[in-house]
């Protein structure tokens, strides 16, 4: 097969990197800043001013609160009370917990039981050595924030080929576990991963570029403003680390110079990349993330909370207007304090004090409900139980309350599951091509046993499992649904 890099010269790679920096990177940086909501010290205005902290989500507040234009001026003037409540982060983290809060099982669908046992041992060791459930949680977190995530299969082909010459196509389970050090699954952060998509079919990749510059993923405020202003990022020279991956070659460049180049043989022209959409977006390579639709609501919530903080600050403490009393301004107001005057027109009037604002409370409550509906994550998902949700005495009642989150979680199991299955099948193809274990293409399929994200009735599950066995369902299948392997139950 002809090397696809012959049609990808350095100019084409630079154009792809420039387009990524100009069109995709600014939005991705914004999504991450809203999720992370990091603080940074900035100078304050005024004589003798020191430094203060500014949160990332302050960029969405109006100028009347921040006293500055985020694209022009870093210095704050007449800054009011700022309240930031990061509703985005806990909702995204809850979604990740529901999807990968517990380990999953990647199980072989091979027709032969002994081969299934070998493949299961290999897959379990491969995913565990690549990071296990922590790898899956990182994948899900980045996917939820950016809308998609890519997995890369890293193979040490020399070690695999050498081991294949020794195993001669019949490695046992222990041997398969030992070779996992030569196979690694890597999560590629979307801000660094640049797909080169087939112009005729958006689902096919011609090549994949991993690029990052000395600044890395941390960008200064000046760089963010420059990116958001829409200036031409392509005018910059491409510098830093660049890796170009195709189905047959891999090329690594540092500061534009090739430092490593190798050919891929085991996957027979197949690009070792699995693309995962967080939520599928028809006819687009990128998926739909969870942060983007929440940003306007988050800005509105922060604005109203900041307005309320200013109102409370002004009204919490009573203020006094004194007329005709000498020295009133020099004496503290307190219990038992007496003022005396001969002025018969003297008076003291109090004003201020916190007052109820029903419309403000209702508006903030409606914003929170809109955040619940948009994300599908109600507060009860994190254990915050309110009286109005009713009696949650049964598991079915809890499932009905969390119906939106559970249905969204089921859709994500399809998209993320495809990526996990593709990585597993490519790894099985590689060890077959290396001569380590002969695996018929029909036996390279896998299935995923997903744990229930909600607490379950263990005794009820056991009774249901026994009923399935009595109906003729295979014991291995039933054990997998319960989260066990055949070896865990002593089944051979």
pLDDT band at 127 (very low <50, low <70, confident <90, very high): very high
225 burial type by CB count under 10 A (0-12 exposed, 13-18 middle, 19+ buried): middle
For residue 48, pLDDT beyond 60: no
8 Å CB contact between 246 and 223: no
CB atoms under 10 Å from CB of 208, counted, come to: 23
Strand partners for 55: 39
Q: Which residues contact 390 (CB under 8 A, 6 or more apart)?
A: 397, 401
Backbone angles phi, psi at 319, to 5 degrees: -120, 160
For residue 400, pLDDT beyond 90: no
Alpha carbon distance 443, 57 (integer Å): 50
pLDDT band at 341 (very low <50, low <70, confident <90, very high): confident
8 Å CB contact between 318 and 352: yes
Looking at the chain, how many residues does it have?
492
Secondary structure (H, E, C), 385-438: CCHHHCCCCCHHHHHHHCHHHHHHHHHHHHHHHHHHHHHHHHHHHHHHHCCCEC
Alpha carbon distance 393, 405 (integer Å): 19
For residue 230, pLDDT beyond 50: no
Alpha carbon distance 378, 131 (integer Å): 30
Per-residue model confidence as pLDDT tens digits over 418-437: 999 999 999 999 999 999 99
Alpha carbon distance 156, 175 (integer Å): 16
Alpha carbon distance 239, 346 (integer Å): 76
Q: What one-character-per-residue DSSP string does 433-461 give?
A: HTTSB---GGG--EEEEPPPSS---HHHH
Task: With H, G, I as helix, E, B as strand and everything else as coil, classify residue 76.
Answer: strand
Which DSSP category does 172 fall into? -
For residue 238, pLDDT beyond 60: no
Per-residue model confidence as pLDDT tens digits over 283-302: 888 899 999 999 999 999 99
CB atoms under 10 Å from CB of 137, counted, come to: 17
Question: Mean of the per-residue pLDDT values for the chain?
Answer: 82
pLDDT of residue 224: 44
Q: What one-character-per-residue DSSP string does 287-339 give?
A: ---SSGGGHHHHHHHHHHHHHHHHHHHHHHSEEEEEES-TTGGGS---TT---
Two tokens at 139?
């994948």
Per-residue model confidence as pLDDT tens digits over 68-117: 655 455 554 556 788 999 999 999 999 999 999 989 999 999 999 999 99
pLDDT of residue 225: 44
8 Å CB contact between 488 and 105: no
pLDDT of residue 489: 56
What is the value of pTM for the model shown? Answer: 0.80
Q: Which residue has the tokens 């994300």?
A: 375
């Amino acid at each position: 097969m002809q090397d696809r890099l012959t049609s990808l010269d350095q100019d084409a790679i630079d154009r792809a990197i420039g387009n990524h920096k100009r069109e995709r990177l600014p939005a991705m940086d914004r999504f991450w800043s809203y999720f992370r909501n990091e603080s940074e010290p900035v100078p304050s205005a005024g004589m003798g001013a020191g430094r203060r902290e500014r949160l990332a989500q302050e960029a969405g507040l109006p100028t009347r609160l921040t006293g500055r234009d985020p694209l022009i001026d870093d210095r704050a003037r007449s800054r009011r009370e700022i309240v930031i409540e990061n509703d985005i982060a806990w909702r995204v983290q809850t979604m990740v917990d529901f999807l990968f809060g517990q380990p999953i099982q990647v199980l072989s669908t091979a027709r032969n039981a002994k081969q299934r046992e070998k493949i299961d041992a290999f897959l379990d060791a491969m995913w565990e050595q690549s990071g296990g459930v922590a790898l899956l949680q990182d994948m899900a977190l980045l996917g939820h924030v950016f809308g998609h995530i890519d997995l890369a299969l890293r193979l040490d082909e020399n070690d695999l080929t050498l081991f294949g010459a020794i195993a001669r196509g019949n490695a046992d389970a222990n041997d398969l576990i030992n070779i996992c050090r030569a196979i690694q699954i890597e999560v590629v952060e979307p801000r660094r991963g640049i797909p080169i998509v087939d112009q005729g079919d958006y689902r096919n990749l011609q090549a994949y570029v991993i690029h990052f510059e000395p600044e890395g993923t941390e960008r200064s405020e000046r760089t963010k403003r420059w990116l958001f202003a829409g200036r031409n990022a392509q005018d910059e020279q491409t510098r830093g680390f660049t890796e170009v991956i195709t189905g047959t070659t891999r090329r690594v460049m540092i500061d534009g110079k090739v430092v490593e180049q190798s050919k891929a043989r085991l996957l027979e022209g197949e690009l070792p990349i699995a693309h995962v959409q967080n939520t599928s977006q028809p006819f687009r390579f990128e998926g739909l993330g969870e942060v983007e639709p929440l940003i306007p609501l988050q800005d509105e919530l922060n604005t109203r909370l900041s307005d309320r903080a200013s109102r409370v600050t002004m009204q919490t403490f009573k203020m006094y207007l004194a007329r005709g009393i000498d020295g009133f301004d020099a004496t503290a107001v307190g219990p038992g304090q007496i003022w005396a005057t001969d002025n018969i027109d003297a008076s003291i009037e109090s004003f201020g004090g916190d007052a109820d604002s029903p419309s403000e409370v209702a508006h903030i409550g409606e914003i929170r409900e809109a955040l619940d509906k948009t994300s599908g994550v109600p507060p009860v998902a994190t254990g915050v139980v309110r009286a109005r949700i009713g009696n949650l005495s049964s598991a079915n009642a809890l499932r009905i309350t969390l119906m939106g989150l559970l249905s969204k979680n089921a859709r994500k199991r399809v998209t993320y599951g495809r990526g996990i299955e593709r990585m597993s099948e490519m790894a099985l193809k590689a060890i077959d091509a290396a001569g380590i274990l002969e695996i018929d293409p029909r036996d390279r399929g896998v299935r995923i046993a997903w744990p229930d994200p909600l607490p379950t009735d263990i005794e009820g599950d056991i009774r249901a499992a026994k009923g399935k066995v009595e109906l003729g369902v295979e014991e291995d299948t039933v054990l997998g649904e319960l989260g066990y392997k055949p070896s865990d139950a002593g089944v051979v």
